[in-house]
Structure 1
Amino acid sequence: MQSVLVYGRHFARCVMGYIPYDASASVDLPGRRSARRQMQLVTASCGFSKDSAANNNRPGQVFKKDIFGDDACFVAKYKNYDVLGVADGVGGWRDYGIDPSQFPSQLMKTCERLVKLGHFNAQSPVAIIATSYKELLENKTPCIGSSTACIIVIDNESKTLHSANLGDSGFLIVRGGKVVHRSEEQQHYFNTPFQLSIAPPGLNTILSDSPESASSSSVPIKVGDIVLMATDGLFDNMPESLILKEIGKIKDQTISSIQSAVNAIAERAREFAYDPNYMSPFAEHARANGMEFLGGKPDDITVLISAVCYAQDIDS
């Protein structure tokens, strides 16, 4: 087990779930009625803990909502905005007797609460991260730990995706079978991502980045797009070409079709993670950094897939 000082990742629990959304709304304009179509998301998620292979866990075994080992995630809606987030906890805190799943879990729960209350600027996802992190810092009992953080806000009215990504979790926008946008990965050096941290008093050697260090972007999004968000447990074990191949099997924009795809991707990534003879993306990066490494990287895996589609026709 690596220590917090070298930012190792160790994981414990598993969960999966999905959340469908209906972004329909109606507005009456005097003297005129015309049909318009409102954009919406259909979202499903799946995940495994690092240790789930030994326990032979399968999708559907729910241990704790929105907690995938030391990963955490949320999906929320406020008016015309759909907001998704993932966070990947640093497992080395176990060396200090601290549960590393608590920090990412509390961070994502706080982000979700702010969104549901409408206390956020849709064009600034980094502010959602910053406000949530500030709350954790100011708690009477600080939530000790570290994690990456990635938040996306989809404005269904302007058809724009706003994002903030701190660390090596991230997302892809897939259109017509091709990646048209991907988040920027942030690493201090190999296998040491940017991260938010709260350390106990007297421990001053813990790496901690500011929320404002997150990479931000705003890009147009279209009906028919697929948005995939995940922690590095996916990206370190499954190459983009195979992710796209599985996404290409999505038959329609129903929740069952999206759930089947996200299950298949998470399961495939877990298989790769425990294959000692597989040249994984992580192994390729390790070799590029002068390390002899072959095989997958056992890790927590969290995957969310959202299909961008039309809601039912509504009056406006």
Structure 2
Amino acid sequence: MQSLALGWRLLSRAIVSGIHNEFQLKPRAKVKGPVQFVTGCSGFSKSVSKTPNFKNWSFGDDAYFVAKNTSYDVIGVADGVGGWRNYGIDPAAFPRTLMNICERVVVEDRLNLSSPIKVIEASYQELLEQKTPLIGSSTACIVALNREERRLAVAPPSQQGLVLSDSPSMADSSSFPVEEGDVIMLGTDGLFDNLTEDMLLRHISQLQDPQPESVQQTASCIAEEAHLLSFDENYLSPFALSAIDMGIDFIGGKPDDITVVIAKITSFSDSI
């Protein structure tokens, strides 16, 4: 749950910063065209490997998706619960399957994504109804951009995140307007346990080019830094600081699966 809570706070902060910069740099146009996500995704499984593995849109027990339909651009992440491995259950199966279903639900364009929690609800229900029961759980977060209305909807909006194994209907959605230049970031525990918000915002603030290659490079740099620091035994990581606050003597990074999804909001002409 911590990953989604921190992700939501960071997302809010990045958007507010982006909107503020828009006010400062140029006046608002009277007529605004549609906007879109330009996305970059990267991550690592919990190993010492320096090479990210993009197999099946997942990194270790984490999973993510990027999809669009006639009206919306959508991104999502899910963080599997590794403790299921102690019971002989693959903890990656649940989040990976969930994100795969979410992607298909979005592409099929059968739901009103102004409330993206509906995507999680529909996907979770379909997962439960599979012929072969799938045991597991994960946290999850979905962000949907209405291109024409230039409005972003987030599910869940609370700082507690949404634990899947509970009922998704317990959560709801929050929405707000966005502008070109705003940057959205979603991540899992491995990201936020090893990089502070200031470190992440430093990377994001350097992302000025709206081209896909630049957004992807930013995502890759963030994931690589988090992965490297997660194995640094002398690094005073956010995870270590939290442990110290709880009276636990700990220093170092926190080896874990890492997933980062970045979406820069641009006009259609900017990404050509």
TM-score in same-fold range (> 0.5): yes
Kindly indicate whether the alpha-carbon contact (under 8 Å) linking 2:76 and 2:143 is maintained by their aligned counterparts in 1. yes
What residue in structure 2 maps to residue 224 of structure 1?
181
What residue in structure 2 maps to residue 111 of structure 1?
102
Kindly indicate whether the alpha-carbon contact (under 8 Å) linking 2:153 and 2:174 is maintained by their aligned counterparts in 1. yes
Match of 1:237 among 180, 185, 194: 194
Higher relative contact order (CA 8 A, sep 6+): 2
2:155 aligned with 1:164, yes or no?
yes
Pair member with larger Rg: 1
Greater share of strand residues, 1 or 2?
1
2:214 aligned with 1:257, yes or no?
yes
Kindly indicate whether the alpha-carbon contact (under 8 Å) linking 1:130 and 1:212 is maintained by their aligned counterparts in 2. yes
**Residue type at the aligned position of 1:261:** T
**Residue type at the aligned position of 1:71:** D
**Residue type at the aligned position of 1:79:** T
What residue in structure 1 maps to residue 164 of structure 2?
196
2:51 aligned with 1:68, yes or no?
no
Kindly indicate whether the alpha-carbon contact (under 8 Å) linking 2:34 and 2:149 is maintained by their aligned counterparts in 1. no
**CA distance in 2: counterparts of 1:148 and 1:100, whole angstroms:** 12
* Superposition TM-score, scaled by structure 2 size: 0.83
**CA distance in 2: counterparts of 1:84 and 1:219, whole angstroms:** 16
Q: CA deviation at 1:128?
A: 1.0
Kindly indicate whether the alpha-carbon contact (under 8 Å) linking 1:104 and 1:146 is maintained by their aligned counterparts in 2. yes
Unaligned runs of 5+ in 1: 1-34, 166-182, 188-193, 198-208
Q: CA deviation at 1:126?
A: 1.2
Q: CA deviation at 1:275?
A: 1.3
Match of 2:160 among 172, 180, 186: 186
Q: CA deviation at 1:290?
A: 2.9
**CA distance in 2: counterparts of 1:302 and 1:215, whole angstroms:** 24
Moved over 4 A (4+): none
* Aligned residue pairs, count: 240
The one-character-per-residue Cα deviations of 1:96-124 (angstroms, maximum 9, x if unpaired) are 11111110011011111111111222121
Equivalent residues in 2 for 1:15-164 (5 A)?
37-51=33-47, 53=48, 56-59=49-52, 61-62=53-54, 64-164=55-155
Q: Percent identity?
A: 50
Match of 1:214 among 156, 163, 171: 171
* Superposition TM-score, scaled by structure 1 size: 0.72
**CA distance in 2: counterparts of 1:253 and 1:65, whole angstroms:** 26
Unaligned runs of 5+ in 2: 1-30
Aligned residues: CA RMSD: 1.9
**CA distance in 1: counterparts of 2:172 and 2:259, whole angstroms:** 20
Q: CA deviation at 1:38?
A: 2.5
